[in-house]
Amino acid sequence: MNHQIQLVATQEVSKPLPRCLAGQGNGFDEDSQLQRPGKFDLTITNAEVVNAFKSETELLNEIQSKYVWHTPRGFLKQLALFEHSAQRADFSRSSSRVINLYLRSFVAMMQGLPVRQWTKVRIEAGVSAICTVLVDDPDSLRLMLKIIGDFLIVMVLDHQLPSKVTIDEVDGVMRQALIEYDQVTDE
């Protein structure tokens, strides 16, 4: 697909850049499966641009400002278990810093509970809470859910979670979150 961009004018802006100043036409479907039906909406477009250019630090600060930040005892050991797992290898393109950010953010949603106290119900609540933070950034949300799901599977396999929590339950929680936050269809 070819795009044509034409500079028609410049102007002073008071809001931070990048920023879309104007647009026209109908929306389109992207290959990333982000739906943009209907007419161009400047407010929605700028919200997407701002979210797309948030740094990891900005995301972390946003999460920290909304939630009490607790790191449960033993979490660094559990993070190391994940870093050395086969599941982590699936994220070879993602930096350890990004993975650490997402996992620490999820742990913040778990309100400092030690991993051994994470029940299915508590995991569902934590996943739901973290999804609300990234609901406007589908690509980051999808990656974060995959990382959290794989982290939880490593914790099940290493007997870090209560024995009642199974891989099937973790898969079910993550699948439900993907459906609920429009990351996949319920088919």
pTM: 0.63
| Banded pLDDT at 37 (limits 50, 70, 90) | low
Instruction: Answer whether residue 187 shows pLDDT above 60.
Output: no
81 against 62, higher pLDDT: 81
* Alpha-carbon gap, residue 110 to 4, rounded angstroms: 47
User: Mean pLDDT across the chain, nearest whole number?
Assistant: 78
**Residue 52 in this model has a pLDDT that exceeds 60:** yes
Q: What percent of the chain has pLDDT over 90?
A: 20
The pLDDT-based confidence of 53 (bands split at 50, 70, 90) is low
What pLDDT score does 32 carry? 45
- Quote the pLDDT of residue 124: 93
Q: Do the beta carbons of residue 91 and residue 147 sit within 8 Å?
A: yes
Confidence of residue 186 (pLDDT cuts 50, 70, 90): very low
Question: Which single residue is written with the structure tokens 């909406």?
Answer: 41
- Structure token digits, residue 94: 């993602």
Report the share of the chain in percent with pLDDT over 70.
75
Cα first-last separation, the chain: 30
Say which range, 8-12, 28-32, 76-80, 150-154, has the weakest mean pLDDT.
28-32
